[in-house]
């Protein structure tokens, strides 16, 4: 550098300083940017992550509202079941925990071990466990094993009124029928048990347990009468057999106010096992799409989803209109030749030869198709 003039050397130093400073500023800018990104834009994500690690939240399911018939019979109820979970950091005797859970829950050693050894704040082992089994596990008093009580929907009459009542899914949410229509009233609000833990997962005693109580769902009272429903079901099943029909629907209403007393659609399905496929279907080979199609068919409420020509059901309205307007009297006589011509259509009476001479009441009873004879 001896051939450089002092001036040149100074410029060189200055440019070096500028470059280094620029690099420092750039590095800081990048770091600041990253920091802003993490603290401002990603804060929610990391807060959630930390919370997940330090707060152990267990939800308390709300009891779903019951469905009750006209006589106060419970058609949809709740059964108390248990959810078994383990808290890794609190387990003192790992082998004992695995042995007890395998034995009581009928699970494989491999399945339970994987969950017990997993480092997480809380790990669910099994839900919908019978209350008696849950109580037995609780009595073993194992450190790190939590037994929480839970509810499962239960239908005391199995298949009675199945397509009307509907059923619930794994999270106790309504899937079809009244269970889904009145979901907002029936579901209630789940509660939570919140415990704060330190970095090792040990519960912080001072922080205490924060408990939000669940709110029970509201009961649903319906006009359906289970006695009438069960008689109508028997009748429908008999009819299905004698007529070799694929399905039979019966709707019983209170003529005074239109209340539905019974709504039958045989074949019905078992509400306590709604995903069971008929014996004629091979479980192993059926595609997922086909399975859903079959189930939708099984769950379908024909009374409200299918159309039916308004034949005999509508004659009451025409007859009443005729009487009220004075077009006919109950004593008027008619002659039934067995059919009537309407434009180019020949509409048959159910008796091929015709009913002959009859009055208005008889004609209505026989569902005759005929013109008034003056």
- Residue ranges binding Zn ion (CB under 5 A): 336, 349, 355, 366, 368
Strands 209-212 and 67-68: unpaired
Q: Which is nearer to Zn ion, 8 or 318 (CB)?
A: 318
In three-state secondary structure terms, 210 is strand
Backbone angles phi, psi at 29, to 5 degrees: -60, -40
The strand ranges marked E within the chain are: 55-60, 67-68, 74-86, 123-130, 145-154, 191-196, 209-212, 220-221, 248-253, 260-266, 333-336, 339-342, 345-348, 356-359
Burial environment of residue 18 by CB neighbours within 10 A (0 to 12, 13 to 18, 19 or more)? exposed
Q: Which is nearer to Zn ion, 214 or 338 (CB)?
A: 338
Token pair of 121, please?
Answer: 């704040």
CA–CA distances in Å: residue 85 to residues 17, 57, 123, 129: 62, 12, 5, 11
Output the smallest distance, CB 359 to Zn ion, in A: 12
Output the smallest distance, CB 329 to Zn ion, in A: 19
Burial environment of residue 153 by CB neighbours within 10 A (0 to 12, 13 to 18, 19 or more)? buried
Q: Which is nearer to Zn ion, 125 or 363 (CB)?
A: 363
Output the smallest distance, CB 343 to Zn ion, in A: 20
Residue of 247, 312, 325, 367 marked active site:
312
Output the smallest distance, CB 250 to Zn ion, in A: 25
Q: Are 177 and 165 in contact (CB under 8 A)?
A: yes
What is the number of the residue whose Cβ is closest to Zn ion?
A: 368
Q: Which is nearer to Zn ion, 49 or 348 (CB)?
A: 348
Q: Which is nearer to Zn ion, 259 or 332 (CB)?
A: 332
Q: Is 312 a catalytic residue?
A: yes
Output the smallest distance, CB 314 to Zn ion, in A: 17
Catalytic residue numbers? 312
């Amino acid at each position: 550098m001896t051939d450089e003039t002092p001036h040149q050397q100074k410029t060189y130093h200055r440019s070096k300083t500028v470059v280094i400073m620029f690099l420092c500023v750039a590095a800081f800018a990048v770091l600041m940017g990253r920091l802003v990104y993490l603290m401002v834009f990603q804060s929610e994500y990391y807060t959630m992550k930390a919370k997940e690690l330090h707060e152990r939240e267990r939800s308390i399911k709300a009891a779903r509202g019951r469905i009750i018939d006209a006589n106060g019979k419970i058609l949809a109820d709740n059964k108390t079941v248990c959810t078994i979970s383990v808290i890794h950091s609190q387990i003192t005797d790992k082998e004992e925990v695995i042995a007890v859970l395998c034995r009581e829950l009928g699970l494989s050693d491999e399945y339970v071990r994987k969950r017990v050894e997993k480092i997480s704040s809380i790990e669910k082992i099994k839900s919908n466990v019978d209350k008696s089994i849950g109580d037995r596990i609780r009595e073993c008093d194992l450190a790190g094993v939590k037994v929480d009580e839970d509810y499962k929907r239960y239908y005391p009459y199995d298949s009675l009124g199945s397509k009307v009542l509907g059923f619930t899914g794994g999270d106790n949410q309504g899937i079809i029928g009244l269970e889904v229509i009145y979901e907002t009233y029936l579901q209630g609000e789940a509660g939570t048990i919140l415990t704060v833990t330190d970095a090792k997962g040990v519960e912080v005693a001072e922080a205490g347990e924060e408990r939000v109580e669940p709110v029970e769902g509201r009961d649903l009272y319906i006009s359906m009468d289970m006695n009438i429903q069960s008689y109508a079901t028997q009748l429908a099943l008999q009819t299905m057999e004698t007529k070799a029909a694929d399905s039979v629907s019966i709707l019983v209403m209170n003529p005074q106010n239109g209340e539905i007393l019974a709504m039958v659609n045989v074949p019905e399905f078992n509400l306590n096992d709604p995903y069971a496929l008929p014996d004629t279907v091979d479980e192993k080979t059926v595609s997922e799409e086909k399975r859903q199609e079959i189930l939708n068919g099984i769950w379908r409420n024909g009374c409200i989803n299918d159309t039916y020509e308004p034949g005999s059901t509508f004659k009451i309205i025409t007859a009443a209109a005729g009487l009220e307007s004075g077009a006919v009297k109950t004593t008027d006589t008619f002659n039934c030749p067995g059919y009537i011509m309407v434009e180019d259509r020949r509409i048959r009476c159910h008796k091929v030869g015709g009913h002959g001479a009859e009055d208005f009441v008889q004609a209505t009873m026989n569902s005759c198709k005929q013109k008034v004879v003056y």
